[in-house]
Amino acid sequence: MSEHHHKETFVTKYIFSQDHKMISKQFLITGIFMGIIGVFMSMLFRMQIAWPEKSFTIIEAFLGPHQTDGVMSPDMYLALVTIHGTIMVFFVLTAGLSGTFSNLLIPLQIGARDMASGFLNMISYWLFFISSILMVVSLFVEAGPASAGWTIYPPLSALPQAMSGSGLGMTLWLVSMAIFIASSLIGSLNYIVTIINLRTKGMKMTRMPLTMWAFFITAIIGVVSFPVLLSAALLLIFDRSFGTSFFLSDIFISGEVLHYQGGSPVLFEHLFWFLGHPEVYIVLLPALGITSEIIATNSRKPIFGYRAMIGSIIAIAFLSTIVWGHHMFISGMNPFLGSVFTFTTLLIAIPSAVKAFNYITTLWKGNLQLNPAMLFSIGLVSTFVTGGLTGLVLGDSALDINVHDTYFVVAHFHLVMGVSAIFGMFAGVYHWFPKMYGRMMNKTLGYWHFWITITAAYGVFFPMHFIGLAGLPRRYYTNTNFPLFDDLSDINVVITMFALLGGLAQLIFLANFFISIYRGQKAAQNPWRSNTLKWTTPVEHIHGNWPGKIPEVHRWAYDYSRVDEKGEYIHGEDFVLQTTPLKDGEEPT
């Protein structure tokens, strides 16, 4: 296929590349860079929570005008919390996770030469890049970056009088997010079109790996819900800059009555959470898709309940768009709505439970190859269960009243979507590194990385449930004004220690990642002995993925360890590539 070997310059190959494999690497590297910022911020504000009056050189060095003698200002504390949330949710776990692996895997796993539109794909990355730059730039604004919480509820986010971060910092945040949403929409549309149209011969929808189903459904909920956040952001920009009153009404601040009449902050909450909740699944489903593939491959077993898994992905996606109100039980909306949202929310427990049970059954009687990717996948199942279960408390409106906005919520969502999704991302990186760079990552460092990270994750977030149940509100700069919470200060110190440990442990990953790019062992073509189509491509990247014709697919992706009546592997090995034709008399699965 010589027509796929254009003459490439440095710019078309590494910068304005339209090749999905290069774009996926660009997403990953940008995501990792943003992740470093986001995690570092969390380490700084955890230090403030644990040792509220202590002076730290590191805070003095990094926070410049926003600290006095090494103690951060309350405004800066809120800014760090806000930007940490924004970066981790959107820039790392949406673009970094979905952007990386959708781009890398969709064409390779369905048998396509590239995305449906390589040009739009390139645009999608560069919009993401611009929005990342804007978000980083906003950190250097004199009055500080956006600090109204990552949910940017107006009027706090709308009025510069209300807090210093609601000036230029907030404007940059909104513009950055608007561009980010454009990037995400373009990317998602591309994924959907590619999966629907460009599957190779024989790759029926019901033969696709679960990764593809997860990315496909994720892209759909992204397209459905992200535009609503865009509209909310635009209306907020109008309120801030052009004097409209979509979200504002009856406000007296800094000694004067403002002109806003008739708007409602609750409207903003509805618009925000209409994206905000599906966003949880936009973050989580790709991670679950990645682990489905990795757990099956490393268990040397088919994923248990393939159709049930697809069914639960679709059910979760559908339900996720009609549960946003559980973030607003006590927002002042009609209590009847609260009842409806309680009902739909708790229903999500059913497909989620099905998924968790199916993972466990997949492990059962497997021949488990405990590679680092597999460890992270098992870790994901664990944190997904731990975090998911407390959803039964938060989704129940009656119980939510008293734990709303406490550290219980922080513990819940960090475990169920933060840690789980980042574990999925790590698993994906360890597993598909050979497809990205043609080399392997070191496993010993991978093991160290996993064990320290999961210990730190549980060390941080398990005790955090209890300080939430003690009634401690989140987003408090310090708790020293409440003797009521004095007994929680030691727990907070322990949590911070684990947070610092967990943050530093990521250096192991970074070292392993960047050194392996240049010095890792050369990869074999199918190092994990996997079934999927992508392992039939050559190790060295070529534009167009396959030399010659795209192979035809004859079976699903999970024919691991199939044996005949005599107990021998049907195809001589414990895995069968999807491209292997059926033998005479072999039943298709």
**Subset of residues 229 to 268 that bind other proteins, contact rule: CB under 8 A:** 248-253, 257, 262-266
Binding marks (x or -) toward other proteins, 474..513, rule CB under 8 A?
-xxxxx-xxxx-xxxxxx---------------xx--xx-
**Residues 175-234 within binding reach of other proteins (CB under 8 A):** none
Angstrom distance (rounded) from CA 123 to CA 125: 5
Nearer to other proteins by Cβ, of 216 and 458: the residue is 458
Span of 172-180, 271-279, 304-312, 576-584 interacting with other proteins by CB under 8 A: 304-312
Angstrom distance (rounded) from CA 72 to CA 53: 9
In the numeric block, the tokens 């199939």 are attached to 562
Taking the complex as a whole, how short is the minimal distance between the CB of residue 487 and other proteins, in angstroms?
4
**Residues 60-99 within binding reach of other proteins (CB under 8 A):** 73-75, 78
Phi, psi for residue 257 in degrees, rounded to 5: -85, 130
Residue 33, classed as helix, strand or coil, is: helix
Confirm or reject binding of residue 14 to other proteins (CB under 8 A). no
**Residues 94-113 within binding reach of other proteins (CB under 8 A):** none
End-to-end CA distance of the chain: 33
Taking the complex as a whole, how short is the minimal distance between the CB of residue 570 and other proteins, in angstroms?
10
Of 266, 77, 286, 89, which Cα lies nearest the Cα of 177?
A: 89
Confirm or reject binding of residue 424 to other proteins (CB under 8 A). no
Binding footprint of other proteins, residue count (CB under 8 A): 140
Q: Distance of alpha carbon 321 from its chain centroid, rounded?
A: 17
Taking the complex as a whole, how short is the minimal distance between the CB of residue 521 and other proteins, in angstroms?
5
> Which tokens in the block code for residue 73?
């200002």
**Residues 428-457 within binding reach of other proteins (CB under 8 A):** 440-445, 447, 451, 454-455
Nearer to other proteins by Cβ, of 36 and 440: the residue is 440
Instruction: Select the residue interacting with other proteins from 527, 536, 571, 582 (CB under 8 A).
Output: 527
Binding marks (x or -) toward other proteins, 120..159, rule CB under 8 A?
----------------------------xx---xxxx--x
Beta strand pairing call for 71-72 and 252-253? unpaired
What is the per-residue burial (b if ≥16 Cβ within 10 Å, else e) of 316-334? bbebbbbbbbbbbbebebe
Angstrom distance (rounded) from CA 541 to CA 519: 17
Instruction: Select the residue interacting with other proteins from 139, 473, 517, 526 (CB under 8 A).
Output: 473
Phi, psi for residue 306 in degrees, rounded to 5: -50, -50
**Residues 532-561 within binding reach of other proteins (CB under 8 A):** 558, 560-561
Nearer to other proteins by Cβ, of 5 and 522: the residue is 522
Of 546, 550, 574, which Cα lies nearest the Cα of 200?
A: 550
Taking the complex as a whole, how short is the minimal distance between the CB of residue 355 and other proteins, in angstroms?
10
Cβ-Cβ contacts under 8 Å for 588 (sequence gap 6 or more): 555, 582
Taking the complex as a whole, how short is the minimal distance between the CB of residue 422 and other proteins, in angstroms?
18
> Which tokens in the block code for residue 447?
């093991």
Among the residues of 51-158, which ranges form H helices? 57-63, 74-86, 100-110, 118-138
Taking the complex as a whole, how short is the minimal distance between the CB of residue 1 and other proteins, in angstroms?
31
Q: Is 262 left (phi over 0), alpha (psi -120 to 50) or beta?
A: left
Note if the bond before 209 is cis, omega within 30 degrees. no
For helices 100-110 and 420-437, what crossing angle results, to 10°? 60
Burial of 109 (0-12, 13-18, 19+ CB in 10 A): buried
Q: What is the DSSP letter of 439?
A: B
Angstrom distance (rounded) from CA 120 to CA 186: 7
Taking the complex as a whole, how short is the minimal distance between the CB of residue 163 and other proteins, in angstroms?
5
Taking the complex as a whole, how short is the minimal distance between the CB of residue 403 and other proteins, in angstroms?
9
Taking the complex as a whole, how short is the minimal distance between the CB of residue 248 and other proteins, in angstroms?
7
Confirm or reject binding of residue 43 to other proteins (CB under 8 A). no
Instruction: Select the residue interacting with other proteins from 300, 438, 541, 586 (CB under 8 A).
Output: 300
Angstrom distance (rounded) from CA 485 to CA 481: 9
Confirm or reject binding of residue 471 to other proteins (CB under 8 A). yes
Taking the complex as a whole, how short is the minimal distance between the CB of residue 526 and other proteins, in angstroms?
11
Instruction: Select the residue interacting with other proteins from 343, 493, 538, 573 (CB under 8 A).
Output: 343
Instruction: Select the residue interacting with other proteins from 37, 381, 417, 499 (CB under 8 A).
Output: 381
Nearer to other proteins by Cβ, of 140 and 343: the residue is 343
Confirm or reject binding of residue 350 to other proteins (CB under 8 A). yes
Taking the complex as a whole, how short is the minimal distance between the CB of residue 459 and other proteins, in angstroms?
7
Instruction: Select the residue interacting with other proteins from 397, 420, 492, 531 (CB under 8 A).
Output: 397
Nearer to other proteins by Cβ, of 117 and 161: the residue is 161
Phi, psi for residue 272 in degrees, rounded to 5: -60, -50
